[in-house]
Every structure is written in structure tokens, then in C-alpha cells.
A and B are shown apart, each in its own frame.
Chain A
Amino acid sequence: MKKPSLRSVLPLLFRYVAIMIVLLFTVGPFLWLLSTSLKSAGENIFAYPPMFVPQQPTLDNFFRVVESQPFFVYLKNSALVAALSVALNLLLASLAAYPLARIPFTGRAVLFIVLLSSMMIPFQLLMIPVYELAISLGLQNTYLGLVLPHACTAFGIFFMRQAFLSVPAAIEEAAIMDGVSRLRIWWFVMLPLVKPSLATLAVFSFIAVWGDFLWPLIIIDQPSLFTLPLGVNRLASTFSLDWRLVAAGAVFSIIPILLFFTFTQRYFIEGAMKGAVKG
């Protein structure tokens, strides 16, 4: 067999090194977090040189997290808020996106530009008026208060509009000729055809809601309504910063995202690729 030349191996080697560097920056912090969460109390987590693999791995930190804080309540709250927010965002964003993509009406282009512009305003700028609005509506310390800001996002509308635009117009016209109403066309024809985009949006929204810290922090002060990020934050303050516990809490809160992504990965990648091509 011919020995591969250095010239043919070098680009491959370079590619692998580049991937390893990217991996180090992306997966590295998570693995470090996981490592810290598995280290026992007898181990110095600040030792130099740092030890990546725990010498006495233990799940004790996780048990302590669950014992010290009602983490399963936080998990339930997070799951409920995420499920409601994602479901509402999928439903309302696609409902708003359909006419923007397909039904001509006066001011449609302006409305779309306004919508796009709203995506450029950071939440921190809107935080106070939204908070005041939420308080006036009596949404403090309610699930609804947590869900509403995520219930129909500008990004979701934009994303679904692009998805609907990719469906051939003739299919919709065939349904119109069939005497089907617009609402039924949306539900029975258009939505099934943009399933990959819906799955992608579901993952995006889930990650955004699950990891949201700022809004729950300002709208919720009852611990029974805390979501996981607030719970993890509480660990930091209660135990004068026991990093093992914080790490265990963070890992605990990340696991559902990983599970969700695993199940929707196929759609997610398909949808993301489609978005990349059809913009």
C-alpha cells in the first residue's frame, strides 16, 4: 500500500486541529461544569494544575442540590412554562406569519419591517415598560406572567413567514379551489408542510425560555414559582458559593435541553439548513 504523503495528510490534520479547538471552546466549559459537579468535597476544585477527571467521582452534589432546594418544583415550573411558551409561540407565530407570507393586504410590507425592527431592540430596553404592563395586568407571581413574553416572538413570526414562503403557491391555490377556508388551509395544509421549521422554532424557543433568567427574576419572587435558572442562582447565594452545588444545579437544568434537542435534532438540522438556503 502506498504511504500517504505529508501533503495529503496536512490539510486533514489541520482540519482536525481546528475542530478540536472549536470543540474546546464550545463543549469544554460544559465538560468542566460536569467535572466540577462530580467532584467530591475532599477534592480541591481550584487545584493547580487543574484536574479535569474527578479523582473520587460522586453524585452526592446532585443529592444535596435536590435536598437543599425544591429543585423538582423548579423543574416542574420550568417544564410547564417552557411547554406553554413553546406551544403558544408555535401556534401564534405561525398564525401571524401566514398572512404576512401569503395573504396580500394593505400595509403588509410595513408591518413586516416593523416586526423585523422590533427584533433589533434589546430586551433590557423594554424590560421596564413590559414589567409595568405585567404588573398592571396582575401577572406578577403567575405562570401566565412567565409565559406571555415568550408566547409570540418576532423572531418566530419572521422564521415561520420564511417557511410558509417556501411552500409552492399552487398547493394553497388548489385548496382554495377546493373551497377550503384560509384558517383550515393554514391548519390542514400549510402547517403539516412546514413541520421541520416548526420543530426548529420549537428548539429555539425552548432554549430561550428554559435559559431565561432576567424576566423570571423580575416578575417572580415566590420560590414556589421559581424556574430552574432562579433555583441555580439561589444555590449560589444560600451556600456562600459552593461551586460543586452550583455546577450540579446547572447540569441538572441543562439535561432537559439536551434531551429535547436529541429528540428534535433531525428536524432542527433539516430546518436550519432550509433556512440557510431559502433565507
Chain B
Amino acid sequence: MSALSLRGITKQFGKTETIHGIDLEIDAGEFVVFVGPSGCGKSTLLRMIAGLEEVTAGAIKIGDRDVTTRPPSERRVAMVFQSYALYPHMTVAENLSFGMRMRGVAKGVIAQKVQMAVEMLRLAPYLDRKPGALSGGQCQRVAIGRALVQEPDVFLFDEPLSNLDAELRLKTRLEIAALHKRLGKTMIYVTHDQVEAMTLADKIVVLRDGVVEQVGKPMDLYHSPANLFVAGFIGSPAMNFLPAEFMALAEFNQAVFADGSQWLLGKKDAPVGKVTVGIRPEHIRLDRSSAMRARVNTVEQLGATAYLYCSVAGQPICIEVRGVIDARVGDEIGLHTAPEHIHLFDAQGVAI
């Protein structure tokens, strides 16, 4: 039985439908990340699971309970907000215990649960401080602690790292991953950052305009994106896309670009006609002997890696090269990619 199941979930704000019938199964203990660009409906979907937004149509089940119309307090879910949403007038200890005190939980139980959260998140030095006296990272830990003491069936995280700086974001990300490993609870995490999605998730749900584009394990999405959108969204820097004509030849198939240059596709098959060739920057090798030529427009040296921004058949592409590179702007370089790293998409953008 799934820990959480969504069946035909739709959401309308007035006459505008923002979520268009989402079906999803989440297993117990899974770390699921909803990822997508701003306005894709990922936060709305999370808020519907939380019970903070009404569901226009469809059903939400947590375990075997249908919670579609239940208030948040009856769903056994806890949420960590992007803005932390701590009670500014209460100390950390009061923030952690507030919900339980209001629900009339016995003092001994409250103390025990708060203690557990304090130890797990190393909050002991801050217990008497108010949120105003804490850093962003500490605030987020308190917010996670507040979710922890509720002992929910499902944890919901709404872009919890967005307000933190790069260093803290990495640190807190690792802490969240460790927390998931330790608790083994179902967690749903919303982000627009595909790096967070790739590093944290057991399962990624890619959303666009209120529709699920693809669901799968991070590396499955990386290696086998279902369409152009997922291919472009997962991976950093983004996958290069080149419009081409697919030609099936006796020995090997090839993609022919607008300027007549060709990219060998090996045995990769597709219907003859217009396609989009997708190649990740890290899968392109420099090869002087290659007939596939590119002109260097910009060079970015980062030390361990370098990025070359080039033109191929009039289209911009990015190439990731390990180490230092001596290419200069204006140079002509040869490119090679192994056929297994080439993705083909049909005219509708669907992977072939």
C-alpha cells in the first residue's frame, strides 16, 4: 500500500485551472521531490496534500485514509515552510512545543518530544532565543524540529532552502538527507533547483504547467528523459538541443543539421524526418579529427572544469571540459559524442 496516493487531482482558482488531473503514488519511506519552474503548480500540489488548499477534484489518500476533505490537523502531515514561519514572539523551545501545548498533550510527552528534536537537530544552545536572534540555517532547523515533534506520517518541505545562502544550503541539504535516512519517513520536497532534486530524491516528479511531465529515479530522468522539457530541466548545465533531419543509412544513421554538417548516431533509430538532437555538455568530447566542427564564442574557466560556449550549425551549444583548456574565442574545434549519449526527440518534443 502506498504511503500517499493522488488520484486525478485538479485545482481551479476562479476559472483558471492550474493543476490538471495529477495521479501519483508515493511509497512509504520514499523521498519524493516535486521539481519544476516557477508557476508549474508544485507548491500548490504540496499545499493540497497539506490541506492548506482545497482540492477542486480528485482524491488524496494518506495510508488507507481518504483525507481529501480533512483539515490539515487530521492528516498526520507536517510542513516546513520556505520562510521558516516561526512564531517570532516565542522562544525556540516555545516554538517547538506550541502545537502540542495547544492540543493539550501531556507535559511529560511534550518535554520528551522536544528533547528528541533538540538532540537530533542540535538546537540545545538556542532554546531560549527568539527567531530574530537566529541565523537563517538555525531558523530552518527549528522549523524542521517543529515538524519533527508532530511525528507525522508524511513530511512536507516547501522550498526550505531557498532563503539560505549557497554554503548553508548545501549543509542543510545534507542534514535533511541524513534526517530522512535516520527517520525513514515519507518526505515530499518541493524545489525549483534541479541539483537539490537530483541529490535528495529517491523519486523525482517533474511538473510543468500543472501537469506531471515525468516521474522516476534521478538517474533515470538524467539518462532517459521523456521529453525535451525534462531533458532541458534535469542536468546542469542544461542539455544542448540542435534541430536536425534524421537520415537512416545502411551502415549508420545520422543527424543532418541545417548547414549540412552531420552527427553520427550509430544504430540509434528514429522515423526519418525532423528531429531534435539532445546532447549533454558533459558528454561532448573535443576531437581534432572530427568532421563535426564548432566555433568557440566564450570560454569560462572554473579550475576543475571549463565551459566552452560554441556555435554548431548556427545553434548555440555548451561543452563541459574537465581541467584547464587552452581554446580561445574564435577557435574552430572538432566535437565527438558517443552515440549512446545522444538523445533524439520527435517534432512534438517526445523522446524517441
Q: Is the CB of A179 within 8 A of B85?
A: no
Q: How far is the CB of A185 from chain B (nearest CB, A)?
A: 9
Q: Which residue of B is nearest A185, CB measured?
A: B102
Q: How far is the CA of A102 from the CA of B73 in the complex (A)?
A: 18
Q: Is the CB of B146 within 8 A of A184?
A: no
Q: Note all chain B residues with C-beta closer than 8 A to A176.
A: 52, 71-73
**SS of A interface (majority):** helix
Instruction: Report how many residues on chain A are interfacial, defined by Cβ distance under 8 Å.
Output: 17
Q: How far is the CB of A271 from chain B (nearest CB, A)?
A: 16
* A-contact 0/1 string along B82-118, CB 8 Å cutoff: 1101111100000000110011000000000000000
Interface residues in A152-171 by Cβ distance below 8 A to B read 168, 170-171
Interface residues in B49-98 by Cβ distance below 8 A to A read 50, 52, 71-73, 77-79, 81-83, 85-89, 98
Q: Note all chain B residues with C-beta closer than 8 A to A174.
A: 79, 81, 85-87, 143, 146
Q: Is B150 among interface residues, defined by CB-CB distance under 8 A?
A: yes
Q: Which residue of A is nearest B54, CB measured?
A: A104
* Contact partner, B73, options A170, A171, A179, A188, Cβ 8 Å: A179
Q: Note all chain B residues with C-beta closer than 8 A to A144.
A: none
Q: How far is the CA of A34 from the CA of B179 in the complex (A)?
A: 70
Q: Is A173 among interface residues, defined by CB-CB distance under 8 A?
A: yes
* B-contact 0/1 string along A180-211, CB 8 Å cutoff: 11001000110011000000000000000000
Q: How far is the CA of A179 from the CA of B98 in the complex (A)?
A: 10
* Contact partner, B102, options A168, A171, A180, Cβ 8 Å: A180
Q: Is the CB of A181 within 8 A of B102?
A: yes
Q: Is A175 among interface residues, defined by CB-CB distance under 8 A?
A: yes
Q: Is the CB of A177 within 8 A of B50?
A: yes
* Contact partner, A168, options B73, B77, B85, Cβ 8 Å: B85
Q: How far is the CA of A192 from the CA of B87 in the complex (A)?
A: 10
Q: Is A178 among interface residues, defined by CB-CB distance under 8 A?
A: yes
Q: Note all chain A residues with C-beta closer than 8 A to B103.
A: 178-180
Report the number of A-B residue pairs with Cβ-Cβ less than 8 Å. Answer: 62
Q: A177-B77, A180-B98, A180-B99 are in contact. Are A168 and B83 (CB under 8 A)?
A: yes
Q: Note all chain B residues with C-beta closer than 8 A to A179.
A: 72-73, 99, 102-103, 150
Q: Which residue of B is nearest A179, CB measured?
A: B73
Q: How far is the CB of B327 from chain A (nearest CB, A)?
A: 48
Q: How far is the CA of A192 from the CA of B98 in the complex (A)?
A: 14
Q: How far is the CB of A200 from chain B (nearest CB, A)?
A: 18
Q: How far is the CA of A247 from the CA of B223 in the complex (A)?
A: 89
Q: Is the CB of B98 within 8 A of A173?
A: no
Q: Is the CB of A192 within 8 A of B89?
A: yes
Q: How far is the CA of A173 from the CA of B87 in the complex (A)?
A: 11
Interface centre among A171, A177, A192 (most CB of B within 10 A): A177
Q: Which residue of B is nearest A178, CB measured?
A: B99
Q: Which residue of A is nearest B95, CB measured?
A: A174
Q: Which residue of B is nearest A191, CB measured?
A: B89
Q: A176-B72, A181-B102 are in contact. Are A170 and B83 (CB under 8 A)?
A: yes
Interface centre among B89, B102, B143, B150 (most CB of A within 10 A): B102
Q: Note all chain A residues with C-beta closer than 8 A to B87.
A: 171, 174-175, 189
Q: A168-B85, A174-B79, A177-B79 are in contact. Are A188 and B146 (CB under 8 A)?
A: no
Q: Note all chain B residues with C-beta closer than 8 A to A178.
A: 73, 98-99, 102-103, 146, 150
Q: How far is the CA of A188 from the CA of B102 in the complex (A)?
A: 9
* B-contact 0/1 string along A127-150, CB 8 Å cutoff: 000000000000000000000000
Q: How far is the CA of A176 from the CA of B50 in the complex (A)?
A: 10
Q: How far is the CB of A108 from chain B (nearest CB, A)?
A: 15
Q: How far is the CB of A43 from chain B (nearest CB, A)?
A: 55
Q: How far is the CA of A247 from the CA of B95 in the complex (A)?
A: 54
Q: Note all chain A residues with C-beta closer than 8 A to B78.
A: 177
Interface residues in B156-176 by Cβ distance below 8 A to A read none
Q: A173-B52, A176-B52, A178-B150 are in contact. Are A184 and B83 (CB under 8 A)?
A: no
Q: Which residue of B is nearest A171, CB measured?
A: B85
Q: Note all chain A residues with C-beta closer than 8 A to B99.
A: 175, 177-180
Q: Note all chain B residues with C-beta closer than 8 A to A184.
A: 102
| Apart from A176-B72, A178-B146, A180-B103, 7 more pairs, CB < 8 Å | A170-B83, A170-B85, A171-B88, A174-B86, A175-B98, A179-B72, A193-B88
**Which residues of B are interface residues toward A (Cβ below 8 A)?**
50, 52, 71-73, 77-79, 81-83, 85-89, 98-99, 102-103, 143, 146, 150
A-B contact pairs, 12 of them (CB 8 A): A170-B83, A170-B85, A173-B85, A175-B98, A177-B52, A177-B78, A178-B102, A178-B150, A179-B150, A181-B102, A188-B102, A189-B87
